[in-house]
Structure 1
Amino acid sequence: MNHWIMIPVILPLLLGAVLAWLSDERATLQRRLSLAGSLALLAVSLLLMQTANQEQVQIYSLGNWSAPFGIVLVLDRLSALMVLTTAVLAALVNGYACAGDDKRGRYFHALFQFQIAGICGAFLTGDLFNLFVFFEILLIASYALLLHGGGSQRLRSAVHYVVLNLVGSTLFLLGAGLVYGISGTLNMADIARFVQQAEGDSLYLMHAAGWILILVFGLKAALLPLHFWLPRAYASATAPVAALFAVMTKVGLYAILRFVTLIYAAEADAASAFDLDLLFAIALLTLLLGALGAFAADTLHSMLAWLVLVSVGTLLAGISLASEQSIAASLYYLLHSTWGIAGMFLLADLIARQRGKLAARLRTGPPLLTPARLGALFFVGAIATAGLPPFSGFIGKLSLLQSASGPYAAWLWPALLLAGFVVIVALSRAGSQLFWQQGSPLPEPVEPLQPVRFATALLLTGSAVLLLVAAGPVLDYCLTTAQQLLQPELYLKQLEGG
């Protein structure tokens, strides 16, 4: 067995426990340990990516107990890609937080590491119950991180977030219990095999359980009509927390993708009743709602929160088409949207720091201290986020549009193009108000632009350029990943030790 598969879970868990034990007087040591852990996770994720790209699906059975009794972690191309996405995001966001934002809460670094452990565990687990466990780890950490920095607005957002996710956790247990009661297992491979062979009432109950779990994953991903917690939560969070949360919705989408391509695989006769058209319709509605929300937003942070919904709808549209090309396009767009939106949240914080009491409100304000650098970065980020050429957002959306055919293309093209136009208008208006329509200078001095903060925002926002330059090999990897996902029989054989 490849023991490196355990590291993305074990490392942040142990490091989080150590960081929680350290006192406030050792803040410098906390930062060094947290950054070292994030960089180590990045190195391990690159190793796992290389391993997954060269070999078949790898299974790690904890305690050497085989399924369905043992807990298994699974490394394939998809899980390796998601862990790498998280590791890159964590390293850069952690660097931004160490420039001073981490001082606003005593246990920031410990909670940060616990959340990374939960996210990576959710991407690697091959067991439904442990997916629930890792969901709870990342959610508990996110509850506290959402309160980082204090304030009544963050408290209200956190209360709504906690209540809704408690309901989601209850439904998750209900769905998992129903699956176990029918199939006698919670191992995803065993569940998939059972669904392929089930008939009559057992099949109908498995589909009912599946839709309950899809509902839970939809809540985590903030799909319409379960989206209302996200704009307020993301807009009120501090910059590094909001940037880290850019990957949170992808956990729910990842779980939906696993269900669509493994447990309820499209080519399995038993899954014919599991209609993906409903998910496609929800995706388009979420996409359009996010664009309208961004257009109506009155602060830059709120607008970016709504743009997260645009990316969620776009990704779900590709997943619900369930073809090699659409899934590959979605995975490429996932990289773009996760890193790009995270960078925009950091950039929004840098802009707000130079506007005094007006902060990130989209109103005519004072001239910025460093308008050239911030304006150029906002320009690149806005073009990439809106999906205009030549950056990665355009490549991802174009690939997704080309993957649709027939009636799906007739719905996807106008929805995606209309949403893109609305987003362009919203971002153009925001840029004009922030950088062109300027009033009197502030009477008091503003905080200068810190090089570390600007560098991390630049790297995340500039990932659109990197993904453009490396579009060929990245798209090839995404296509190979989609092909692997749509061959569940190979996945099942590996998981079952066949």
Structure 2
Amino acid sequence: MTSWTDHLPVLPVLLPMATAVALLAMGDGAGGHGNRVLRRARWLSLLSVLAGLAIAVALALRAADGTLQVYRLGAWPAPFGIALVIDRLSALMLVLVGLVALPALVYASGGWDAHGRHFHALFQFQLMGLSGAFVTGDLFNLFVFFEVLLIASYVLMVHGQGRERLRFGVPYVVLNLAASALFLVGMALVYAFTGTLNLADLALRVPQVPAPEAALLQAGAMLLLVVFGFKAALLPLHLWLPNTYAASSAPVAALFALMTKVGVYAILRVHGVVFGEGAGDSQLLVQPWLLPMALATGALGVLGALASTTLARLVGWLNVASVGTIVAAIGLFSTAAWSAALFYLVHSTLVVAGLFLLAELVAAQRGAAGGTLEPATPVAQPVLLGLLLLLGAASVAGLPPLPGFLGKVMILQAAQGPAAPWVWAVVLGVGFLTLVGLARAGSILFWAVRHEPAEGGFASAGASPRLLAPMAMLFVATLALVVWASPVKRYVDAAALQMSDRAGYARAVLGNESAQTVRPYRTTGGSR
């Protein structure tokens, strides 16, 4: 007899989908200010996000003992049916989605959601795509959830309209459509030589593909790396991100901080596990490429931050630099490095999301100068906003005892062999230049001020507690990582170790008998 708790793994997908449909049915008070329908939409969306966060925490607690929760839709056995899999990693990512989505939604409900149509429905579809990407157990449905979150992001990116958003939104859509086409080609090649797209099944079949056929299989895997690298904003596929995120509204940019992590997650799942250790002729396929690309991404990201002329673009470039640091740890291909990558991923996502909200609040209080890094009238709350920027800068740069420092120390400790000097040089160099860039920005924004009165009453704009509270929530969450660093470290250690257990993952998803009797797919015979 099944319990209702057995259906928890599917709720992170169904809940935002059902909420989005309900919001579309009731309308969202488009263009309204204090409209009753809009207020109802806000409350429904907020309650849904709170429920989603509670579900994510419950799944993380259940996964903490190492249990893999497998949900087979329609009771179809894997790999033939759709399987959702909750392990420590996917549960961690679901909690992270909730921790970012909640303050972003509260911030948006301060007025941004009234600037266009159906903001809350689009927000929920975005959460559906993000959550689905983290719980799906096969490549095809990873593609499906990619498309769900991307379609929602296309509209959210231009929500509220504006020339700059349309200017950067069109290339964003076109490039993502091209990446989606490559995703399909890469999947087709993988399926042609393995006969499956289920991740657990792939982990068993990829090692059995012989050398002559493995070349095309590897070509498909490299195409997937291009796609995931684009989503994660790895060099040289990163140029779209800083301007796109800076042009978006602050709550949307904060939520978008999670989108790059979907690409990082996919690289870890597919190239770290399926094409990782024990993958036969395709073993560690991307290792020669991944670490150099990641280190170059981190270096270029921080240089872009130094050259930025607005605070929002600076934060966008720091997002690129943080991705480089995370993927560099993944590219070391060890459980210790993967654990460090996960710890740093959680920290960087929270602090970057908080900095995007902070950038807009500062811009709103500086009159016509906005977020441009040039002298302007003083902000209404220089002490509070200045301290929050200092906290974010210290954490991103990796100063002790903040979580950025802990994550970078873990990465440096995991770096071994010939790559270690390069990892140390780039990680420490990026941290130092990050501190320089944010210190320069802070000195201009809060010290190089003109003391004449602000025109049009801008000085107090964005000073509402309703806008300050969600931003503070994100920074408090980063501080909580310091307080609970030890249990979080144990959790990510166990998550990294669990990912390396390919056989255990296969047994949980496919069942003992299927995992033991799998036969390789042969293109000449056309059958399994």
| Bin of the TM-score, shorter chain as denominator length | over 0.9
- Which residue does the alignment assign to 1:469? 483
Q: 1:93 aligns with which of 76, 99, 104?
A: 104
- Which residue does the alignment assign to 1:322? 333
Q: Residues 409 and 170 from structure 1, CA distance in 2 versus in 1: closer, same or farther, beyond 3 angstroms?
A: same
Cα pair 1:38 1:87 within 8 Å, conserved: yes
Q: Work out the CA distance in 2 between the residues paired with 1:271 and 1:480.
A: 26
Q: Does 1:445 align with 2:449?
A: no
Q: Does 1:115 align with 2:126?
A: yes
Match of 1:321, SS? coil
Q: Work out the CA distance in 1 between the residues paired with 2:336 and 2:450.
A: 49
Cα pair 2:361 2:462 within 8 Å, conserved: no
Match of 2:64, SS? helix
Q: Work out the CA distance in 2 between the residues paired with 1:56 and 1:203.
A: 33
Q: Does 1:489 align with 2:503?
A: yes
Displaced runs of 4 or more, over 6 A: none
The amino acid across from 1:486 in the alignment is S
- Which residue does the alignment assign to 1:252? 263
Q: Work out the CA distance in 1 between the residues paired with 2:51 and 2:146.
A: 23
Cα pair 2:367 2:455 within 8 Å, conserved: no
Q: Work out the CA distance in 2 between the residues paired with 1:216 and 1:55.
A: 30
Cα pair 1:89 1:339 within 8 Å, conserved: yes
The amino acid across from 1:43 in the alignment is A
Q: How does 1:232-251 map to 2 (within 5 A)?
A: 232-251=243-262
Task: Compute the displacement of 1:417 (Å).
Answer: 1.2
Task: Compute the displacement of 1:487 (Å).
Answer: 1.4
Task: Compute the displacement of 1:199 (Å).
Answer: 0.7
Residues 339-374 of structure 1: per-residue CA shift (max 9 Å, x gap): 110001111111111101101000011111111111
Q: Residues 273 and 358 from structure 1, CA distance in 2 versus in 1: closer, same or farther, beyond 3 angstroms?
A: closer
The amino acid across from 1:11 in the alignment is L
Q: Work out the CA distance in 2 between the residues paired with 1:345 and 1:391.
A: 19
Q: Work out the CA distance in 1 between the residues paired with 2:502 and 2:244.
A: 37
Task: Compute the displacement of 1:55 (Å).
Answer: 4.1
Match of 1:462, SS? helix
Cα pair 2:66 2:498 within 8 Å, conserved: no
- Which residue does the alignment assign to 1:365? 376
Cα pair 1:16 1:109 within 8 Å, conserved: yes
The amino acid across from 1:465 in the alignment is L
Cα pair 1:343 1:458 within 8 Å, conserved: yes
Task: Compute the displacement of 1:320 (Å).
Answer: 0.8
Q: Does 1:19 align with 2:23?
A: yes
Q: How does 1:28-427 map to 2 (within 5 A)?
A: 28-272=39-283, 274-427=285-438
Q: Work out the CA distance in 2 between the residues paired with 1:370 and 1:415.
A: 35
Q: Residues 448 and 52 from structure 1, CA distance in 2 versus in 1: closer, same or farther, beyond 3 angstroms?
A: closer
- Which residue does the alignment assign to 1:459? 473
Task: Compute the displacement of 1:448 (Å).
Answer: 5.4
Cα pair 2:17 2:125 within 8 Å, conserved: yes
Q: 1:8 aligns with which of 12, 27, 32?
A: 12
Q: Work out the CA distance in 1 between the residues paired with 2:278 and 2:192.
A: 25
Residues 464-492 of structure 1: per-residue CA shift (max 9 Å, x gap): 21111111110110001011011111111
Task: Compute the displacement of 1:190 (Å).
Answer: 1.5
Identity %: 47
- Which residue does the alignment assign to 2:526? none
Unmatched segments (≥5 aa) in structure 2: 30-34, 513-528
Task: Compute the displacement of 1:268 (Å).
Answer: 3.7
What TM-score do the two structures reach when normalised by structure 2?
0.93
Which moved further from structure 2: 268-277 or 160-169?
268-277
Cα pair 2:302 2:321 within 8 Å, conserved: yes
Unmatched segments (≥5 aa) in structure 1: none
Q: Work out the CA distance in 2 between the residues paired with 1:63 and 1:443.
A: 61
Cα pair 1:380 1:462 within 8 Å, conserved: no
Task: Compute the displacement of 1:149 (Å).
Answer: 1.5
Residues 221-265 of structure 1: per-residue CA shift (max 9 Å, x gap): 111001111011001000000000011000001000001332112
Q: Work out the CA distance in 1 between the residues paired with 2:477 and 2:284.
A: 40
Match of 1:360, SS? coil
Task: Compute the displacement of 1:453 (Å).
Answer: 1.2
Match of 1:60, SS? strand
Q: Residues 133 and 323 from structure 1, CA distance in 2 versus in 1: closer, same or farther, beyond 3 angstroms?
A: same
